[in-house]
Structure 1
Amino acid sequence: MSNTYSFAAASAAGQITGRRVFSVSSPREHHESGQGFDFSRPDNLSRAFAVESLQFYRSSIVEREAIYRSLSDCLLTYSEEFKEVVSLCVGKPDGVFAHDRQFKLPDKVDAVRQVVAKNMNLLDGSFYSYKPIFNRVRKSLYSFWVVPVDGVWVLIVMYLVNYYDEQKHANRKMSVSRIDGESITARFIRVYDVVDEGRLERRKRIRERLPTILKEGDIDIPDIDGKYPSFAGVEGLPTLFNRSHESGLLIHMLVEHLFERLENVVQKEKNPYLGTIRQRLHNRYEEPFWSPIRLPANPGTLYRARGRMIGNLMTGMSGTNQWQATAAIELPDCEVRMGGGSSSILNSLSLAEDVQGDGNESLI
């Protein structure tokens, strides 16, 4: 179930059920200008699918759409300076780290590599343009890749700087501009894999293939002796045993922890009188950000992770729809005793869209 979302299918379902599922009548609709809640919007349909998958499916791999949409909505709550230095890729490039793929470059471009291989001029072989995955990555300092590897969600975090030459740039500030076609450097890379089974093999495969993938975006991985290595181990990771299908929940929580750490770094370092946030953070090893994450992999942590994902979706739904959305707790197949008999708890309630208020309700 890692990537079964279909916009076409969700749109068709939304045409039938959208009014009841996504919206509620309120005084706001009668006296405010502009369009009301649009249940056909792609982001709203994505959220509806993500919420359903998180609520209903508990024993299969967490959906890509649920992770992507939740983290995207989470990003909406962070500062503009934070969003300026961060890029997020979820589920793509899909398959490039899979065991059953012979990843040989640059001889052949298969279906997977088509999403990473840069476009070249067929006449002279010169650079033409990057694939979309690298357009945002090259503009960021911190890039978060949440990728599926053989049924396990893995997080790759990269810190990107302009070409790094320690001797050349020892006594002067480096430029932080990024020009297409010019190489930049993945200065620090960390792989967060929370599943015990097969972890060493997955890490080995990522370390072997990632340099080739990044090269398509003109991103190099240097090896500088005596300094922090580009690849380094991650200490204190929570670990799942025989529960790889829950890796998406734990990886999502790790990303949120790292987001919060990075926001703290950004707020501490930003100073308009001493340069932009990109200049202030360029080519710096931020210990508070890279330090170990102490987090247990117990059921309580996973319950909280699932709840936070749903909470992000609800916040994003409300925020991007001018707060014309509501969240509900459903109790399917639950019966309550009313009078002399039993009745479905859903039948005992009036549908929100059928309830007319007295005009005094809060607009939020």
Structure 2
Amino acid sequence: MILNAATAAARMASAPMMDWTDRHCRYLHRLMSRRVLLYTEMVTAPAILHGDRDRLLAFDPAEHPVALQLGGSDPHELARATRIAADYGYDEINLNIGCPSDRVQSGCFGAVLMEQPDLVADCAAAMIAASPVEVTVKCRIGVDEQEPREVLPRFLETVSGAGIDRFAIHARKAWLQGLSPKQNRDVPPLDYPLVHEMKQVFAHLHLSLNGGVTSLDEVQNHLAAGMDGVMVGRAAYHDPAAILLAADQVIFGEPPSGRCAEQVVHLMLPYIERHLASGGKLGQVTRHMLGLFAGRPGARGWRQVISEAAHRPGAGPEVVEAALSEVMAHAA
């Protein structure tokens, strides 16, 4: 397989997460890793067709390599949305077949589509025909009463037959009946061996594993077991310094950047100033920075200052600088 920019970066990715991986989060994460593939939160095809496209799709060029995740179940709508999104310059377009939220089920897309692999194949084929960049799929191992060892191989075979070469597999079932979206991230047991087995069965496909990965050591273990890539979700968000600052060196074999969390804060200040100058609010950016010093002395003061002051009228970079002083005081 010839590796394009997104596929090469998919050796490690920061997973798409609703209400979390917006453009501000991605800019922060890119300051911490040059190589990790970044994903948007899911955007529905109808929202792109009928909503504020710039608000939904615009991103900073510094975010590359960056992938857009689309949600939908209508091949024609997805094709139109893909054409529109491609003009914004994304490195990859990803189809969500994994989200278990109520609003996703009511719209007949997300994880519920694990029950309709032929429809997913039609959607994928339409997106591929409309896209100048690679189209990929993120899925679960199954839903509700499905038997993953029966369902997942058929799903991969059917959808790859439509031209999809790269899948990210969340190694949990989605229970659409009886569990909340939050519970679906924790309650269904992880089945890493099944995902590893799929890589052996479908050796020609690029398969990434997602779900429950909390450290770079775990990323390395899954890669050593034969996976082509690993997605890290909540750990990369809540403790980004531990996951992202060393990723280029540990996972991609590049020289260390030498950056620390304190330097990342300073690098965020010009971005924050631009955001405020364009009419944005400080809290829209700083809510993604709360975990920067997780586990370090001064982390509580950092979080407290930002949480209490970032949403006040007129709040600006001085709030971030004051919060950083809490960390520096403990480092002295």
- Normalised by the length of structure 2, the TM-score is 0.32
Normalized per residue, which structure has more helix?
A: 2
Higher Cα Rg, which structure: 1
